[in-house]
Structures are given as C-alpha cells and as structure tokens.
Amino acid sequence: MGSGEIILQMKGINKSFPGVQALSGVSYELEKGEVHALMGENGAGKSTLMKILTGAYQEDTGEVIFDGKPFPKRDERSTLAAGIAMIHQELSFVPYLTIAENLFLGREIMKSGMLDKRAMNKQAGEWLKNLGMNLDPRRTMDSLMVSEQQMVEITKAVSYNAKIIIMDEPTSAITDREVEKLFATIRDLTAKGVAIVYISHKMDEILQISDRVTVFRDGQLISTRNAQDITMDQIVIDMVGRELTEVYPERASDIGEELLRVEGMTRNGVFENVSFSVHRGEVIGFAGLMGSGRTETMRCVYGLDRPDAGKIFIKGKEVSIKNPGDAIKNGIGLVNEDRKGVGLVLALPIKTNLTLSNLNKYFKSPIIQGLKEAQLADRMIGELRIKTPSRNQLVGNLSGGNQQKVVLGKILLDESEILIMDEPTRGIDIGAKSEIYHMINDLAKSGKAVILVSSELPEIIGLADKVFVMHEGTIKGIITDADDIKQEKIMEFAIAQ
C-alpha cells in the first residue's frame, strides 16, 4: 500500500491534437510507495497523461506538482534527472549497440576520453542480475528476443533510482516467469518508497499487483478505486461505459476444404519438422511459451524467413513462397506481432497503409487513383471503427489499438483467404479485443481459414477449433476436440514435462 504521502499531483490537465480532445480536465494523484494502475481503452488518454508528465507532450492547460514543488517546464531529460522514468509500450533502444551501451546511453562511463566498456559491462551485469536476468551485457539488442529486450528496458528504468517509474504495458511481451520476476522487483521498489504507475490491459495483473486503479474513458478520468474493492466487471463498465456480456463469440464452425497444408517445415536451430493444416471456416490456435517457435514458424510460412526444409501446399497444390509478395499472391495475409516494425509504415497516412501491400490489385495503372484509395480507406475505417479524424491521419499518431485495426484492415482489403494472426490483440484494451474476437469469428464464418498465434490462453480457448502446442521448436501436442481445449491441457504440452 502507498504511504499516504503525495509524490505527484496533476491538476486540470487538458490536451488536444488536431481533431481530437485527448485529455479533458484530468486531475490525478500518486502516492509514494504505491502501485497505481491506469486503465482504459486505447486512445482513452492514459498514455497521453504520462507523456505529458515526462515532457514528451506539453499540456495545453493545467499544472504538475512533483515532490511538493511545481514542475512547469519539463522535457524527457529533465524529468529523468528529477527521478521520473518511463518504460514505453513500444520499446525504444538502439538495436546495434550492446545491452550495456543501451543501459548507459546518455550517461556513459568515460576513461581517458574513451568509453570504459569494462566498467559499463560490469555495472550492467549487476543491474541485470538484480532483476534475475542471466544476460551477457556485451550482446547487441537486436540479438535478443522481444521479451528479453523488454526486460532490458525495465532494467534501464530501475537503474536510474527513480522516485516514479511509469510502466506502459510492461508484460505485453514477456513470459509468465518473467512477470513473476517483474512483480517481485515492483514490490521491492515500492517497499523503498518508489511509486509505480502501471498501465496495462491485463485485468488479472492489475488486481494482483495494484493498490489503486484509475480508469480513463474518452480523455476523462472516470473513477479511482482501491484495487481490493473493485471487480473486473466494474473496471470493464467504467472503461467502455457498458457491460461486455459476450467477450468471446459463440463458435459455430462450418469447416470446408483444406486451404493450407505445411509439411515438415524446419529452420535449423529454431524449429523442427512442423506440420499442420487449416481448412476453410476453421480457426486453429498455436499456443506455447515465449520462444517455443510459434512466431518463427509463421514467419517462414509468410516468406519473411527462409526455412531449411519443408513444403507448403495451397488447396492441395505445392507452392514456393520465398517472400511476402509470394504469400500475398497465394492468398496468405499476416497480422504480425510487431505491428510497428513489420505491419505498418508509421510516417504514412492510414489510406496509404491500407492499400500499400497490393497496389497492383487496387490500381490498374502506375498512377494511384486518389478517389478509389479514399473509398477503400473510408470503408475500412467505418467497418473497423478506427478512431481517427481523417483517412489522411499518419498511422504513427494513432493509438496502439487503432494501429492494429489498420493492420487488420489491410489484410481484409487484400481479401486473403488464409489469415495468420500473430498476437492480434497485444497491447489492446478489452473493448477492442472483443471487437477483434468477433471479427475473427466472422472471418471464419465467411469461409476464411484463420491461424491464431497467441500467448493469452483465454483467446486460444475462446476462439480455436483445434490447438497446436509448441515447445522448444517442435509440436508437442495437438488438441482436436473443442471440449478438451482447456488451460491445464495446453500447459501440460507447453512445458512438456
């Protein structure tokens, strides 16, 4: 529990962007030694408020009081120096530098005018060890898994001895074991008086780790309650303004012809002898712990990586997929877990992102027809309820959930028959998740074949007709009876004990 002593006050904060009122009269307080969770749908305002605190954005009106003193002029460097650190949902690091060099970025240890890499590696190793991570600080960031990159970012924030640490979706890409380590670290920090702002869509985590929960909706602060006095249903009602009576749609499978078959696919040292098939109208799930080979398999099916062995058949005919262009031509669409790195071009508008992957299909001449592009974009914006002032809005300015909807819209416009969805709801709020679940169900009903890769077992259980469970690069179990798709059964195969 918090100490009762206020470390931060944000009073009457207003912030608008072109066409959007992001925050409207928000007042928020944080106590020393507490974990204060912020919840709300994507675009509700919670991350915007924290970016105002750290100086990434400047409030239009309002006041920030930190540690008892007004803190009017802020930028990211001054707030970090003052003791406010933020771990962003979209990881920010220099990929070709080492772990140690990233941890010391902007505060390097120098010796005789040169980087003292030995001292930096030693200190970085101690920081990592304190968080229970056995990583060589000399490794480059691009050699790490996403979960390891996220833990390094957490280590960096902790290393600043901050008075406030803001964690924006800190567990979106880490394993259950790493979540336990993170929670242990959080408890150690709060015991020392550090205040944690915890932004997450995972309600079970929120209720487990938080002292207080504040809910945002449409740029307004709706409620603040003690975590021990609140239920998941109350949080959902505050977030979306209504009850979500049916998060997962009822499955009514009408499974038809085989659309995709993969036989004996192998990528040496990554996964081995993976075989599966998916039929028209079917949703198959791929489950397993982080690093089990699920995503790596799908990258090869889509042509992002080259396998060392294996065959791919589309409607019974063997095909060669050497790159994503080949996959698209063969009717395969991918919603990638790394939407910013692979799925989108952030500096381009929504309309361009939606049509970019298949220009030859939409436009018969070398000149892009603006009217048709606008019509296609407006159709997807309406169908997917993408929150944006305009089809011309840059994708980089959208919230995470709306960015994911753009990725989905691109796949839907491609009219792909085989859809690979890798962590399609990562970092997305419960309201948007429910929309996407119903969309997946509708796609299957319309005759699409869906491959769902997810770390969230409720998604697999709620949506899949059949489940393939991977462990250390191989398929350890296949659950074909829908009544047997249960968490215990999946985990039995996933840990392969």
Tell me what pLDDT residue 431 has: 72
> How far separated are the first and last CA of the chain, in Å rounded?
38
Identity of the amino acid at 453: V
Mean pLDDT on 2-6: 78
Which of 304, 216, 312 minimizes the C-alpha distance to 258? 312
Q: What is the mean pLDDT of the chain?
A: 86
DSSP β-ladder status, 449-453 and 283-287: parallel
* Rounded Cα–Cα distance for residues 301 and 449 (Å): 14
Q: What share of the chain has pLDDT > 90, as a percent?
A: 42
Whole-number Cα distances in Å, 106 to 73, 80, 95, 306, 331: 21, 11, 16, 38, 47
Spell out the SS3 assignment of 425-460.
Answer: CCCCCHHHHHHHHHHHHHHHHCCCEEEEECCCHHHH
Tell me what pLDDT residue 190 has: 93
Tell me what pLDDT residue 214 has: 95
Mean pLDDT on 94-110: 92
* Rounded Cα–Cα distance for residues 44 and 37 (Å): 14
Tell me what pLDDT residue 434 has: 79
Give the DSSP H or E segment for 280: none
* Rounded Cα–Cα distance for residues 492 and 135 (Å): 28
pLDDT digits (tens, 9 = 90+) for 150-195: 788 888 888 888 899 999 888 776 767 778 878 888 898 899 899 9
Give the residue carrying structure tokens 């998604």. 459
The 8-class DSSP code of residue 341 comes to: I
CB neighbourhood size of 63 (10 A): 14
pLDDT digits (tens, 9 = 90+) for 192-242: 899 999 998 787 788 899 999 999 988 899 999 999 998 887 887 887 775
* Rounded Cα–Cα distance for residues 94 and 126 (Å): 21
Tell me what pLDDT residue 357 has: 64
3-state secondary structure of 89: coil
Whether the CB-CB separation of 199 and 216 falls below 8 Å is answered with no
pLDDT digits (tens, 9 = 90+) for 431-440: 777 788 888 8
Count the helix, strand and coil residues of the chain and give each as a percent rounded to the nearest 5: 40, 25, 35
Which of 413, 381, 382 minimizes the C-alpha distance to 398? 381
Q: What are the strands, taking DSSP E only, across 101-181?
A: 110-111, 114-115, 164-168
Q: How many helices (H) and strands (E) does the chain have?
A: 17, 22
* Rounded Cα–Cα distance for residues 440 and 420 (Å): 11
The 8-class DSSP code of residue 281 comes to: T
Whether the CB-CB separation of 466 and 490 falls below 8 Å is answered with no
Tell me what pLDDT residue 2 has: 62
Mean pLDDT on 279-288: 94
* Rounded Cα–Cα distance for residues 355 and 357 (Å): 6
Q: Collect all residues with Cβ–Cβ distance below 8 Å to 393 and sequence separation of at least 6.
A: 19, 349, 350
Tell me what pLDDT residue 182 has: 82
How remote is the C-alpha of 86 from its chain's centroid?
16
Tell me what pLDDT residue 320 has: 95
**One-character DSSP codes across 367-396:** S--HHHHHHHHHHHHHHHT---S-TTSBGG
Neighbour-count burial of 386, counting CB atoms closer than 10 A to its CB (0-12 exposed, 13-18 middle, 19+ buried): buried
Mean pLDDT on 242-247: 58
Whole-number Cα distances in Å, 289 to 129, 452, 454: 23, 14, 10
Tell me what pLDDT residue 173 has: 67
Whether the CB-CB separation of 211 and 1 falls below 8 Å is answered with yes
* Rounded Cα–Cα distance for residues 33 and 8 (Å): 12
* Rounded Cα–Cα distance for residues 134 and 406 (Å): 37
* Rounded Cα–Cα distance for residues 100 and 138 (Å): 6
* Rounded Cα–Cα distance for residues 20 and 393 (Å): 11
pLDDT digits (tens, 9 = 90+) for 8-20: 999 999 999 877 7
HSE, side-chain direction, 13 A CA sphere, residue 385:
10
